[in-house]
Amino acid sequence: MRLFIAIPCDWQEDFAVAQKRASEFSKCKPVEPENFHMTMKFLGEVESEKVAEICSAVNSAISGTAPFDISLKGIGVFPSRNYV
């Protein structure tokens, strides 16, 4: 299964702006607002048996981390212009 470590984002209010900006990229379909996130690390293909171990390690690493605000400028695509 393909895994990534991400931070969920509450960007629903900016969804219309994101939709408009995403239209600048051909063949692009933006994610639905409930799936907005900021990818911190793409792990790629991971054996399903390792998912629980990875989740535990991430939870340990972030325990005690306070919520924070972040400001972003623009949007980008990866690994190609087909994904925003």
Whether the per-residue pLDDT at 71 is higher than 70: the answer is yes
User: Which amino acid is present at 67?
Assistant: P
Q: Are 28 and 81 in contact (CB under 8 A)?
A: yes
Tokens representing residue 76 in the block: 């980008």
**What's the mean per-residue pLDDT of the chain?**
79
pLDDT, greater one: 51 or 69: 51
Tell me the pLDDT tens digit for each residue of 20-54: 666 666 666 666 777 778 889 999 999 999 999 99
Residue with tokens 């535990």: 56
Tokens representing residue 45 in the block: 């293909």
Instruction: Give the pLDDT of residue 84.
Output: 47
Please name the helix (run of DSSP H) or strand (run of DSSP E) that holds residue 37, with its range, or none. strand 37-45
